[in-house]
Amino acid sequence: MPIESLKKKQDRADKILKILYESYPDAHCALHHKNPLELLVATILSAQCTDKKVNQVTAVLFEKYKCPDDYATVDLLELEQDIKSIGLFRSKSKSLIKMGQRLADTYDSKVPNKMEDLISLGGVGRKTANVVLGNIFGINEGIVVDTHVGRINSLLKLSNKNDAKKIELDLVKVFKYHQDEWCIISHLFIDHGRAICIARRPKCFDCPISMHCPSKII
């Protein structure tokens, strides 16, 4: 297969994006939240866990923990019990406590709106920071690369990288002229991954973007 130029990838990505908009007009962040802190916490908890499970846990968690100080001062074992049904709950509990402490000590108990500040918080990497920046502050600094986005990108061959950060760097080039849409692009990919491009049984025959997918099985 000949190497596809960036311009051709951009043209193909434009067509894919248009179809995804038509297919998933209600695409949005699936993590339930009412404020920046809640989305930050929910996204930290979402690593290697379904949004459905996270929403079940946070429905109770957010009634108990309402500000960074609540996370900063809670006993570790108590917090572990509160989120024990979520995978990696022990490490995530430590991250939430560190996150709460840094927000309280350094950011006046407010969630910052800069990438470098967000990734200084416990449990926060570029993915989580991009989720918060895009969905809360309307800042499109990057594209969220979660499991769905990484997998679908691999099939669409918009990037040939395996590392999430490197995939993101390639995707922002491919979608260079859609920067104000970077946040929604990840939601569109995620919705497509859940509805059609399912990991174990992709529905290529029903896929609206199959004509633009080098990996289609038809």
Q: Which CATH number fits domain 6-28+142-212: 3.40.640.10, 3.30.365.10, 1.10.1670.10, 1.20.144.10?
A: 1.10.1670.10
Are the beta carbons of 182 and 175 closer than 8 angstroms?
Answer: yes
The single residue listed with the structure tokens 């061959």 is: 157
The single residue listed with the structure tokens 């969220």 is: 144
pLDDT band at residue 3 under the 50/70/90 scheme: confident
Q: Where are the domains of the chain?
A: 6-28+142-212, 36-136
Q: What is the pLDDT of residues 91-131, one digit of tens each?
A: 999 999 999 999 999 999 999 999 999 999 999 999 999 99
pLDDT band at residue 152 under the 50/70/90 scheme: very high
pLDDT value at residue 1: 54
Give the DSSP letter string of 133-201.
Answer: HHHHS---SS----HHHHHHHHHHTS----SHHHHHHHHHHHTGGGGGGHHHHHHHHHHHHHHTS-SSS
Q: What is the pLDDT of residues 26-47, one digit of tens each?
A: 999 999 999 999 999 999 999 9
On the question of pLDDT at 217 being above 90, the answer is no
Residue range 55-65: mean pLDDT, rounded: 98
pLDDT band at residue 175 under the 50/70/90 scheme: very high
CA atoms of 92 and 77, how far apart (whole Å): 12
Give burial (CB, 10 Å; 0-12/13-18/19+) of 179: middle
The catalytic residue positions are: 127, 146
pLDDT value at residue 74: 98
Rounded to two decimals, the pTM is 0.94
* Other Cβ atoms within 10 Å of 116 Cβ, number: 8
36-136 under CATH 1.10.340.30, yes or no: yes
Q: What is the pLDDT of residues 10-19, one digit of tens each?
A: 999 999 999 9
Residue range 177-200: mean pLDDT, rounded: 96
